[in-house]
Each structure stands twice: as structure tokens, then as C-alpha cells.
Structure 1
Amino acid sequence: MSRVSTAALWIAGVGLVLMTGFVAWQVFGRYVLNRSPSWTEQGSVMLMSWFIFLGAAVGVRENYHLGFDVLLYVLPKGGKRWLRMISDLVALAFGIGMIWYGSQLVALTWGATLPSLGISGGWDYVPLVAGGALIVLFTLERIVLRLSGAPIDDALDELPPAEVAAELDTANVKV
């Protein structure tokens, strides 16, 4: 899964760079050439979908997703484990929903053509399905590791609360 995560992160990064190039080309075409290319806007939006959903999936694997961690600071270690398991199950359900509803959107729009790109409109929603599939894989990996007894939460349990971490970080700043 580490290789899949790294590949997704690289693809997302390349997509971000390409999108930046597309937008720069659009601005150059509009203001310098007085002829804006029609494909750059739709291409940029599609690339943005890819890097957002791939990056979000990697964020789920690396435990950078949004969470409500207040209870984690007061619960004993066993309670933290179950709260994190619930969080993973919610992320898993969300990923399944992305696959299910994203697939329906792909099917509904597959017959339409994006005029500026000349490809099926379903490609607009394929990143949603791909990101959902990766979220499912990455959360299943974490759930299986946790259930097998792997110490995946130990490093998280040793982290100080965000407020304390911010104060520690500020205290180490040299003026």
C-alpha cells in the first residue's frame, strides 16, 4: 500500500503542475495572443479533481484527514483505539459512498461529450471513484493492521495536544 500511496501522491503532484501550466497557457493566450484556448479551463478542472481526490486518499492513509480529536486527549489508550476505529469505519463508509455515487454519475454522463476536450463527460467523475477506491483500500489496511495488533496508533498516542504542540513550537523559535 505504501507504493500505491506514493504513486497516488506523485500523480497528484504532476496533475497540480500540469494544471498550473494549463492556467498559465490560458492567461498567456487571453492577454498576449488575444485568443484563449478552449480546452484549458475544462482540462484544469479535470486535473484539479484528480489531484484533490488522490491527495485526499493519501491524507486518509497518512492520518491527516479531518477529525474531532478532543476526546482522544482524555481517553485511556484502549478507548483511543476504539475511537480511531470508529473514525476509520466512517472514512470507509465515505469511500464506499464515493465509489457508489461516483459510479452512478459516471454512468449517467458517459454518453455526453465534453465539447472542449472531445471526451466523454463521464471522465469528470472518474476521479471521484478512483479516490473513493483508494480511501477504501487505505482504511481497510489500517483497520486490518489495528485488528492484527500492529502498533499503528502508538506514535499518535505520544503526540501532545495541538495547543501544547503550538506552544512548544513557539517556544523553540529563535528571535
Structure 2
Amino acid sequence: MQQFMKKVARVMAILARTSLWLAGLGLVLMTVFIAYQVFGRFVLNNTPTWTESWSVLIMGWFIFLGAAVGTREGYHLSFDVLLYVLPKRVKDVLHTISDIVITGFGIGMIVYGAQLAEKTWQSTIPNIGISGGWAFVSIIMGGVLMVLFSIERILRRSCGMVTARFGETELPLEDR
């Protein structure tokens, strides 16, 4: 089982790294769009109207992709003062409970994000002319990644493998 999980971990690491790069690219792109909007408004006296719509759309993507990667790397919000005094076995149980809750939250993101996308698919985002449903696809994708990464963490822990925890920058080399 550990050999299988090491292969899964490699695939998930590639998926997480790709998601993080896409999130970073989105952040840079949004910054360029907003800078262009400010330049157009105050220097050219001709405000480009499409930049705000694209920036908001892109922002949803880098937020949800980054949050999903944060789940895998153990950077999600947690209150872990108690964990410093508990035995390792109890810590593992609490971490697993946390990952189960995150999995449930991710499933909620998928279900409700799909409902929002479906209800807004026929509308069009002004200034860019694409379906309003695309604004919610990022929620669905973020939810899918959170579910995958949380399940990976649970399975790794059940096999006795290390998972990243808050404050650790990445998994040990042999577990990537």
C-alpha cells in the first residue's frame, strides 16, 4: 500500500505544483490587468472596461487553487495549541478528523458550486462576453482538489506515511 501511495503522492505533488503555478500566474495576470486599468484611466483618460471583469474572474481561480494546495501542504486554518501536548497517536486522529471535515467542505463546494454554475450558465458576464457560470467553475475545481488532497492525506496517514503539517514547507523528499 505504501508503494501505491508514493505513486499517488507523486501525482498529487505534480497536481499541486501545477495548481500553484496557475494560481501564481493568475495573480500576476490580475495585477497586470489592474495596472493597465489604472494606466488607462489616469494616463490615457480611456478606462478599459474588460479588465475588472477578467480580474474578478481570475481572482476566484487563484484563491480556490491556492486554498486547495494549502490543504495538501497543511496550511489550512487550524487551532493547534492543544496538539503540542498530545501524544502522536491522538494528534494523528485529530488531523484525520480535520481532513474529513475539509473533505466534506470540498464536497459542499462541488455540489453548491455546480448549482450556482448551472443557474448562471445562461447569463453573460458584461464586457467579456462569456458565460456567468465560469465564475463558479473555480469553486468546483477548488472543491475537487480539496477532496483529492484531503483523501490523500488521510490515506498517507493510514499507511504510516508523513503528511505536511502547518509550518513545514513541504513533504520529505522520499514522500513526494
Q: State the 4+ residue runs in structure 1 displaced beyond 4 angstroms.
A: none
1:34 aligned to 2:45? yes
Q: Aligned equivalents of 2:149 and 2:83: distance in 1? A: 22
What's the offset of the Cα at 1:113? 0.5
1:138 aligns to what?
149
1:15 aligned to 2:21? no
What's the CA shift string for 1:90-149, capped at 9, x where partnerless? 111111110010000000000001121100000111111110100000001011111122
Within a 5 Å distance, the mapping from 1:37-56 to structure 2 comes to: 37-56=48-67
Q: 1:58 aligns with which of 62, 69, 79?
A: 69
What's the CA shift string for 1:33-65, capped at 9, x where partnerless? 111111100100111111110000000000011
Q: Aligned equivalents of 1:58 and 1:81: distance in 2? A: 20
Q: Aligned equivalents of 2:162 and 2:130: distance in 1? A: 46
Q: Aligned equivalents of 1:8 and 1:45: distance in 2? A: 18
Letter of the aligned partner of 1:126 in structure 2?
V
5+ residue gaps, structure 2, are 1-11, 169-176
* Bigger RCO of structures 1 and 2 (CA < 8 A, at least 6 apart): 2
Taking structure 1 as the reference length, the TM-score comes to 0.86
Letter of the aligned partner of 1:145 in structure 2?
R
Larger radius of gyration: 1
Q: Aligned equivalents of 1:149 and 1:81: distance in 2? A: 10
CA RMSD of aligned residues (A): 1.6
1:126 aligns to what?
137
The SS at the match of 2:162 is: coil
Q: Aligned equivalents of 2:88 and 2:148: distance in 1? A: 25
Q: Aligned equivalents of 1:43 and 1:15: distance in 2? A: 10
1:150 aligns to what?
161
- Does structure 1 conserve the Cα–Cα contact (< 8 Å) formed by 2:53 and 2:126? no
